[in-house]
Each structure stands twice: as structure tokens, then as C-alpha cells.
Amino acid sequence: MRKINEIFYSLQGEGHHEGYPSVFVRFSGCNLNCSFCDTAHTEGIYMDDDAIIRAINLYSADWVVLTGGEPAMWIDKDFIHLLKRATGKKIAIETNGTLPVPEGIDWVTVSPKSGFEGAGEAPVRVRHANEIKVVDLGQNLDPYFDLPCRGEDTIMYLQPCYVPDEEEFRQNRLNTVRRILADPKWTLSVQLHRYLDIP
């Protein structure tokens, strides 16, 4: 049994697969408690693997995105192989990187949180990331290029920190754009779903 907050169908709003139709499996709970987290992930129900697969197979998307919370708390290699075999879909994961992720995942997004309020020291243990997505809180960005999961082909995304206040969020977006223009090793991740008002 795995604790699931929700399973839903939408467009991927962030990173390399922005705009792709995807089935999101949001796992409940996280091993960190970041002060800026904008995801309600503490509630949930326990579901067996058959129920999870049935829910995923209601939708025809090519991608399943395992997210949270922290999905690596709930998954293992056998679950990934079962998902791929039973759904025929590609599997992506969005993780803070502090826990190992099993083999067989097609796309790994690491969003490191070490040093942020509520996260403490949270070293990255994932060995390879297809993309690293950093929430821009004005922090020094240089250490992200030394993460152990970063390879030559890893895409580096910088994402404005969402806040409910519209003017403050606008300023956050502008500040992030300025930082990227000053350091073009970064690419903008815009959280497309916020602009389209979709889940």
C-alpha cells in the first residue's frame, strides 16, 4: 500500500516536458518541511498498486509523473517496473533528491532544498538528474553546478518562487529573469499551470 494524495490528468507545467499531457501521481508526505512549499501533500489515502494502475490507465497520456511530497519515500524498483509494464507509459519523477530513486525511471527532476528554511542540511543522494530545478529565493546559485547528480547533459532550470500576492510574485518573476539573463547557464521554468489556471 502506498499513501496517495491525488491522481490527476493535466499538462506538465514545469521544466523540459512543459506542456506535455501527463498523469500525475502525487504521493503524500515529505521528509523535508520547506517554508516556501506551495503543495498540499499531507493528506491522502492508502491505495494498492492495482488501484493506482487503474487510475493511471483512465488517461491516454504518454507520461506518468511521480510527485509529492516526496515520492521516493514510497517507491521501489519493483513498483517502477510494474507501472511501466501495466501502463505502457514513460515514468518521470520530481524529487528533492535526498533519497535514492530506483532504476527504470525515464526522466528524473531533482529540486534540491538544502539550506532552505525548514529543510536544514538536505544533501542530494540521487546519482543522475535529467534536469535540476531550483526555486529562486535569491540564494547563491553556484553550488548547484557541483551537485553529484549533475551531468554534462543535465538541464538547469531556475523557477520564480510562487507567492499568493500578485505584485510580489510579479517581482519574483522579474528578478528570476534578470538572474538568468546575467547567467545564461540557467533556463526559465515558469509553472505554466499557474497561468492556465489548471491543476
Q: Taking the complete model, does pTM exceed 0.85, yes or no? A: yes
In a domain, 132, yes or no: yes
Give the pLDDT of residue 164.
92
Catalytic residue among 14, 17, 27, 34: 34
70 in catalytic set:
no
Retrieve residue 56's grid coordinates.
Answer: 493511471
62 in catalytic set:
no
The whole-chain average pLDDT of the chain stands at 92
94 in catalytic set:
yes
161 in catalytic set:
no
In a domain, 198, yes or no: no
Catalytic residue among 17, 24, 109, 149: 24
Taking the CA atoms of 162, 68, 133 and 19 in sequence, report the sign of the dihedral they define: negative
* Total count of domains within the chain: 1
Has residue 96 got a pLDDT over 80? Answer: yes
Give mean pLDDT, residues 179-187: 98
Q: Which amino acid is present at 47?
A: M
Taking the CA atoms of 70, 75, 77 and 83 in sequence, report the sign of the dihedral they define: negative
In a domain, 169, yes or no: yes
39 in catalytic set:
yes
149 in catalytic set:
no
In a domain, 199, yes or no: no
183 in catalytic set:
no
Confidence of residue 36 (pLDDT cuts 50, 70, 90): low
In a domain, 22, yes or no: yes
38 in catalytic set:
yes
Domain span holding position 89: 2-193
Q: What is the pLDDT of residues 21-35, one digit of tens each?
A: 999 999 998 877 766
In a domain, 37, yes or no: yes
Catalytic residue among 6, 8, 18, 37: 37
Confidence of residue 123 (pLDDT cuts 50, 70, 90): confident
In a domain, 172, yes or no: yes
In a domain, 71, yes or no: yes
Catalytic residue among 27, 30, 109, 176: 30
Q: What is the pLDDT of residues 132-182, one digit of tens each?
A: 999 999 999 999 999 999 999 999 999 999 999 999 999 999 999 999 999
CATH of the domain at 71: 3.20.20.70
